[in-house]
Structure formats: structure tokens, C-alpha cells
Amino acid sequence: MNIQIIQVYFLLLIFVPNVVDASERSKFHNSPRLPEPMVFDLVLPLGAKKNEFELNTMFQYDDEHKATLMNPEFEYAYADGYGIEFELPTEDFTIDAYKLALQGTFDFLNTNKFIHGWQYYGEYYRHSKELENNLLYLAGYQFNEQWSTLNMLGLRSTDVRSEGHIEELVNSTLFYSYSSNLMMGLEVNWESRPNRPDITLVMPQLHVQIAKHAKVQIGLGMKQANQETFPHAATRIIFGF
């Protein structure tokens, strides 16, 4: 329980002051607008403008558990660089959890190539009655017009009701922009889990802009868990405004 209190306190330290000052900040127009990973999705891109919003759903087939996963979500930027997300993770078309995420963009050290921020999300699992808290640092860099990268590093506390433990989260994605409507990416997710085997997911992906407000992301990769390797397929449909 102490871990949960520390996380909430830290979140308030970084979140509340920024909400108060958000209306006076710049719109991050000089910072890079970087793409988002497909699997470990952001709450809108870092530096998103106030009142941007997005509806999207990711479909995955988890060959390890022979399950179809779906994650419908709504994302909204309530201030320049700050967003909130509501998500309903489902498994085999049954709601499995409730997820709430908050994200902010730092207003220091940013350049026309570098941007960074933070993300918090909590996830409550309906059947096990467990609550997870996740806190991550986000950093992205635009190398040139074609190449960019986005990286996340954070901690997760699990089962905070009783014998919870801390897990480490790492996500790193390299993007290549072939054109304004076509992008390729290589995403790597790693979860370091004490008392349980680590999980690693490597996901090559395509991002295709099919209309002004619509895009599709498609990926086929490999997941390693319990010392076995499984194919893992995913697609995300996005409507952004």
C-alpha cells in the first residue's frame, strides 16, 4: 500500500502544477510531432494541442493464451501537451479491465528534435479485483525527416491490495517515414517481472494514413513468455480529430 501512496504523491507533484499553468504555456509548436508505437499506445502524441481527441481500437491475437484481445479507447487533450485516456481492455469480447491514463509533456529541455514527458495509468481487473499502477518517463527524438524514435522507461506496481511487487517496463520504437501517408516501425516491449518469467514482444509494423482523420496500423511479430516463443498479430484502427 505504501507503494501506491508514493506513486499517487509523485503523480500529484508533476501533474497538478502543470494543469494550473497549462493555459499559459506554449503549444509546443517548435517541438517534433513524433509517431506513437502501435502496441504500447500513448495518450495522444507528446505536445498534442488542446482539444485534440482520438477514438481508436486495437485488435490482437495472443497465440500464447489463444485469445482475441480488443482495447477500445477515447483520448482527449484537455490542455496543450496534456491528455487523458479511458480504455476498456477486453478478452474474447468480454470486458476484462478498466483503464485510466494521464499524460503530460515537459516544457523544459525540448528542442526542434527532442521532446519528453510522463505517463501514468491505472488498470483495475474485474475478475481478480487487482489494481495495477504504472508510471513512465517518455522521450522522443527526430533524427531527420525520415527517422525518429520514441522510448519509454517505467515501473509497475501489481496487486497493491496485499503482496504486490514492482515490475520494470521498457518500450523502444524506431520509425522510418516513407511518405506522409506511410510509415514503418519496429517496436520492442520488455516487462521484467520478479517471481514470474519476463515478457518480450518484438513487433514490426506499418502505419497507413487512409483518410484525413483515419489511419490503420498493422503488425505481425513474436512474443517470448515462459521460455517459449509465440507469433503475435495486431492491428489498430484510429480516428483522430
pLDDT in tens, 148-160: 999 999 999 987 5
Q: What is the largest CA-CA distance in the chain?
A: 51
> Of 45, 160, 17, which Cα lies nearest the Cα of 103?
45
Is residue 54 over pLDDT 60?
Answer: yes
Half-sphere exposure of 120 (CA within 13 A, CB side): 17
Domain of 189?
A: 2-240
Residues 6+ away with beta carbon under 8 Å from 51: 76, 77
Is residue 175 over pLDDT 90?
Answer: yes
Cα–Cα distance, 46 to 34 (Å, whole number)? 7
| Mean pLDDT value across residues 137-152 | 97
Cα–Cα distance, 232 to 62 (Å, whole number)? 6
Q: Which helix (H) or strand (E) holds 99?
A: strand 97-105
Is residue 6 over pLDDT 80?
Answer: no
How many CB atoms are located within 10 Å of the residue 94 CB? 9
| Mean pLDDT value across residues 14-39 | 71
Provide the pLDDT for residue 194: 82
Q: Which helix (H) or strand (E) holds 155?
A: strand 147-158
Q: State how many domains the chain has.
A: 1
Cα–Cα distance, 111 to 29 (Å, whole number)? 10
Is residue 15 over pLDDT 90?
Answer: no
Cα–Cα distance, 110 to 196 (Å, whole number)? 38
> Of 31, 37, 138, 143, which Cα lies nearest the Cα of 80?
31
Q: How confident is the model at residue 168 (pLDDT cuts 50, 70, 90)?
A: very high
State how far the alpha carbon of 18 is from the alpha carbons of 1, 14, 120, in Å: 26, 7, 14
How many CB atoms are located within 10 Å of the residue 99 CB? 19
End-to-end CA, the chain: 39
Provide the pLDDT for residue 193: 84
Q: How confident is the model at residue 163 (pLDDT cuts 50, 70, 90)?
A: low
Half-sphere exposure of 105 (CA within 13 A, CB side): 32
How many CB atoms are located within 10 Å of the residue 182 CB? 12
pTM value is: 0.86
Residue 2 sits at φ, ψ, to 5 deg, of -60, -35
CATH number at residue 106: 2.40.160.40
> Of 164, 139, 169, which Cα lies nearest the Cα of 154?
169
Provide the pLDDT for residue 160: 55
Gyration radius from the chain CA atoms: 18
Whole-number percent of the chain with pLDDT over 70? 87
| Tens-digit pLDDT profile for residues 189-234 | 999 988 788 999 999 999 999 999 999 999 999 999 988 999 999 9
